[in-house]
Amino acid sequence: MLVKHQDPIAAIATAPGRGAVGIVRISGKDLVGLVRAVCGRELQPRQASYLPFRDAAGAIIDQGLAIFFPAPFSYTGEDVLELQAHGGQVVLQLLLARCLEAASAINTHNQKAVLSRLRLARPGEFTERAFLNDKIDLAQAEAIADLIDASTESAARSAARSLSGEFSLAVNTLLERLIHLRMLVEATLDFPEEDIDFLQKADASGQLLRLQESLDQVMQRASQGAILRDGIKVVIAGQPNAGKSSLLNALAGAELAIVTPVAGTTRDKVTQLIAIDGVPLHVVDTAGLREAQDEVEKIGIERAWAEIHSADAVLFLHDLMRYDNPNQPQDALNYIAADAEIMNLLRKNLPAKTPVIDVWNKADSALPEQLSLARTGVLISAKTGAGLDDLRASLLRVVGWQPATEGVFMARERHLQALAKVHEQLAKGAAQLHAVMPALDLLAEDLRQAQQHLGDITGQFTPDDLLGEIFSKFCIGK
C-alpha cells in the first residue's frame, strides 16, 4: 500500500451548510490515543457516548455523540472515530481543527510518527480505503457514490442493489464459470494427448454457450442500470412556435419556459430533470430552428444544434396547424419544406443510433385533414396534455428501457464497456472452439482476456490511475 494510504485522515463527512447534526470522521491505524485526547476518555467500541468536545485549553466546543469503531470492524477497515455534533460549519471546523491539533500534540509527547501525519482527506478517500482494505469491491464503491447522486427512487433502489453486492455477485459468478472453462482448455494444452475429445466430453461448447447466455442477462440488467444512473438526454427540436416550450412545461408539470406567440422567444436552452416511470430524463428546450438575422437568435440556434448532437433522443416537434392550411397554402408549403430540411440535417448529423421521434402538436385545434398527416410518430396537444402518456412511453421504448427487467443494478459506462469486451472475447472463443481445426491456444487467450475484463469491473485488475479517477468524483468525507 502506498504511503499516502497509511496516513490517518480526517474530514467533515456531512454536506456544507446548516443542519441539525454534523459529523467529523477520522480513519487510521491505532487511533486510541487520539480518541482519548479528543473525547477525554476511552470509548467502548461501537457504542455512542454523549460527552463534551473540548479544545486544547479545556473550553467546550460543543456536546455530542462520539463513536469508536476499532479495526477491522469499521467502514474503512481501519480504526474509525466519528464525532457527531451540531451541524453548524463553524462548530464542525473547530472540531476538525481540534482533531488535527490533538494528533500533533500526541506525537510531540510520545513521538508516534503515524498520528503526526493526520491530514485532511481527499475526495472519496474513506471509501477508497474501504476498497483497498477489502471491505467492498470497486463496483460496490462506485454504487455508494451512485446512491448519493440518485435522482429518482428507482435509481436509488438500483444503486442499493449494487451496494449490497448483487452486481458483484453476478460478475463473480461469471468469473467462476469462465475460470472453470479456462482450466479445461489449459489442461488440454498442457496435455496435448487428450486432444479435443477431452473438451467435447467436458461439454466445453455447452459451457461456453451457457456462459454467453448468462453474460447477455447481466448485460441487459446492467444496461438498464446505466439508464437509471445517467438518465436520458432528450432534446426538443423544431421550428419556432411549434410548441417546444409548451411541451417542456407540460412534461415537467410547471411553467419553466416562457411561452409567447412571438417567433424566436426561446433564445437559449432550458433544461429540466423529470422522471418517467422512475427513469430520469434531462429534457432540453431549444431555440427554434430557422434562418435567423438576429445575432442573439443565431447563437441560440447554434447552441440548439450542439444540444441536438449530444442527445440520446430527439423530439422533432411539428405544428399541425401550419400543415395543409387552406387559408395560407404557400405558408404551409414553406413550413413543410423547412421541416423536411430540418429532418435531412438531423439524419445527416446525428449518429444512426440516436432515435428521432416525430411529435405532432396542437391536436386539440387541428382540422381532420391535418390530423391525418400524423401517420407516424406521436400525436399530442401540449396545451391539453392529450397524447403525453403515449409520448412518454415512446421515449422509454426508443432508448431501450424495459420496465419488466427484474433486479436492475446500477452500472456505469465503464462497466458496460467491460461487459461488451467480454462478449466480444467469448464470441471469438466460440468461433475458435467450433472451427474445423480448433486453435486452442487462441481460445485460451480469448478466455484469459475475457477474465481480465470481468475483473476490471470489481477491481481485481484495475490500474491505479483509474482508481484515482473514480474516487476523485466522490464527495469529501466519503
Rounded distance between C-alpha atoms, residue 449 and residue 455, angstroms: 10
The confidence score (pLDDT) of residue 196 equals 59
Q: Residue 245 annotated as binding?
A: yes
Q: Residue 285 annotated as binding?
A: yes
Q: Residue 353 annotated as binding?
A: no
The answer to whether 71 and 77 have CB atoms below 8 angstroms apart is: yes
Q: Residue 362 annotated as binding?
A: yes
- Chain centroid, CA 444 distance in Å: 34
> Which of 49, 84, 47 has its CA nearest to residue 69?
47
The confidence score (pLDDT) of residue 258 equals 45
Q: Residue 324 annotated as binding?
A: no
| Cα angle: 142, vertex 233, 280; to 5 degrees | 60
Rounded distance between C-alpha atoms, residue 364 and residue 19, angstroms: 49
Q: Residue 27 annotated as binding?
A: no
Q: Residue 405 annotated as binding?
A: no
Task: Identify the architecture of domain 3-136 in CATH.
Answer: 2-Layer Sandwich (3.30)
pLDDT, tens digit only, all 478 positions of the chain: 444 678 999 999 998 888 899 999 999 998 999 999 999 999 999 999 999 999 999 999 999 999 999 999 999 999 999 999 999 899 999 999 999 999 888 755 554 556 778 999 999 999 999 999 999 999 999 999 999 989 888 899 999 999 999 999 999 999 999 999 988 888 787 766 555 577 778 888 999 999 999 999 999 999 999 999 989 999 999 998 888 888 988 888 755 544 445 444 454 678 888 888 889 999 999 888 888 777 887 888 888 889 999 999 999 999 988 876 666 777 878 888 998 999 999 999 898 889 999 999 988 887 777 777 777 889 999 989 999 999 999 999 998 888 766 678 889 999 999 999 999 999 999 999 888 888 888 999 999 999 999 999 998 766 666 667 677 777 777 7
Q: Residue 135 annotated as binding?
A: yes
Q: Residue 25 annotated as binding?
A: yes
Q: Residue 129 annotated as binding?
A: no
For 148-227+409-458, the fitting CATH number among 3.40.50.620, 1.20.120.430, 3.20.20.150, 3.40.640.10 is 1.20.120.430
Do strands 60-69 and 49-54 pair parallel, antiparallel, or not at all (unpaired)?
A: antiparallel
The amino acid occupying position 271 is T
- Cα radius of gyration rounded to whole Å, the chain: 30
Q: Residue 246 annotated as binding?
A: yes
Listed in order, the ranges of the chain carrying CATH 3.40.50.300 are 232-311+313-398
Q: Residue 361 annotated as binding?
A: yes
Sheet holding 119-120, edge to edge: 49-54, 60-69, 79-85, 22-28, 9-12, 119-120
The confidence score (pLDDT) of residue 459 equals 87
Q: Residue 286 annotated as binding?
A: yes
Q: Residue 243 annotated as binding?
A: yes
Listed in order, the ranges of the chain carrying CATH 1.20.120.430 are 148-227+409-458
Provide the strand spans (E) within 174-265. 232-238
Q: Residue 384 annotated as binding?
A: no
Q: Residue 82 annotated as binding?
A: yes
Listed in order, the ranges of the chain carrying CATH 3.30.1360.120 are 3-136
Q: Residue 377 annotated as binding?
A: no
CATH number 3.40.50.300 given to 232-311+313-398 = yes
Question: What is the model's pTM?
Answer: 0.81
